[in-house]
Amino acid sequence: MVLVAMEDALKGCPGFRPDVVVIGTTSGGMSLGEEFFRALASGKNVAHATRKVRNYVPHQPIIQSLEVFGSDAPVRIISNACASGSNALGIARQLIRDGMATSVLAGGYDAIAELVFAGFDCLKASTPEICRPFDARRSGLALGEGAAMFCLRSGAGELQITGYGSAIDTHHLTQPHPSGRGPEQAMVAALQDAQLPPGSIDYINAHGTGTPLNDSSEGRAIQNVCPSAPTSSTKSMTGHSLGAAGAIEAAFSVAALRSQFLPPNINFREGDPDIALNIVANTSRAARLRNVLSNSFGFGGSNASIILSLT
């Protein structure tokens, strides 16, 4: 996944040579680590598994993919739970803005692993049916996997990351604060960074996991900051790709800006009366977009929001 995403990004930016690479992930090479420990426990194929365990470190897939393209740029891994991908893009943008780099390859990746799946199942956060974010009868998330990469450069461009905000609410290890204060602080910080009023946001790509607690917390934050903005969770289509989610949803946001449409929140049947939002229900529709806000929130109270704009 990392190699394909990196190839796609670099193909669209001929001659791009990153000064630094900033990538968000959570489990990293977890599936390879699982293979090693199973082999160790069983006493079978230990030598083969040992050769693979070095890939367990989260930066290894990035380094190996960079080698394919002849780059030895330093790699910085961001691991802030499911906010990792958005934080990676925000930090990359800060490096450029502050003059510490002129070109940054940034994004996120995560692959499904059995241990991760079991963990979410133990938390009763996984749905036994389909993911339906913000629906009154939502019952949990569906896990996904993927990768997305972006070539960021200094200087003016048609499409830019204009705002970035992060916040920690320190409420609970796995549950967001019910008031939505952490997500709200991240959204407000991103707006302040972009020097934009809340009413200028034309679409919100919500974190929207489909769990009862996340959607109510984020819904309250959106109500407090941008109550009328069209909102959808593209996780309804892709599943929750954890550390990659922010980068993948930034890609959705870029596609929405370039093609001037609102991505749908599929599987939506009935709105939650406690979080009345302007949901883009079930089908996409044309819209005039200039500023899009993308949210990513994670365990431990990690919250990140970025704003992408047509300039």
Q: What is the pLDDT of residues 223-244, one digit of tens each?
A: 999 999 999 999 999 999 999 9
Where the chain has pLDDT below 70, the residues are 28-32, 46-56
Greatest alpha-carbon pair distance for the chain in Å reads 61
Which of 131, 177, 207, 226 is an active site residue? 207
Which of 13, 82, 122, 226 is an active site residue? 82
Buried b (16+ CB within 10 A) or exposed e, 216-250: bbbbbbbbbbbeebbbbbbbbbbbbbbbbbbbbbb
pLDDT of residue 269: 96
- β-partners of residue 146 are 110
Query: Which class for 57: exposed (0-12), middle (13-18), buried (19 or more C-beta within 10 A)?
Result: middle
Is 59 an annotated catalytic residue? no
pLDDT of residue 251: 98
- Quote the pTM value: 0.92
pLDDT of residue 157: 82
pLDDT of residue 39: 76
Pick the CATH number of 2-310 from 3.40.47.10, 3.10.290.10, 3.20.20.70, 3.40.50.2300: 3.40.47.10
CA separation for the pair 180, 269 (Å, rounded): 24
Is 207 an annotated catalytic residue? yes
Chain centroid to CA 100:
24
Three-state helix/strand/coil letters over 86-145: HHHHHHHHHHHHCCCCCEEEEEEEECCCHHHHHHHHHCCCECCCCCCCCECCCCCECECC
Q: At what angle do helices 60-68 and 2-11 cross, to 10 degrees?
A: 40
pLDDT of residue 238: 97
CA separation for the pair 246, 208 (Å, rounded): 12
- Can you tell me which residue has the tokens 């241990």? 115
Sheet holding 302-310, edge to edge: 159-168, 302-310, 291-298, 203-205, 230-232, 278-279
pLDDT of residue 43: 73
Structural domain boundaries of the chain?
2-310
CA separation for the pair 109, 1 (Å, rounded): 8
Pairing of strands 285-286, 230-232: unpaired
Is 13 an annotated catalytic residue? no
- Phi/psi for 38 (5° steps) reads -65, -45
- Among the residues of 137-201, which ranges form H helices? 181-194
pLDDT of residue 156: 72
Which of 131, 177, 226, 240 is an active site residue? 240
pLDDT of residue 74: 97
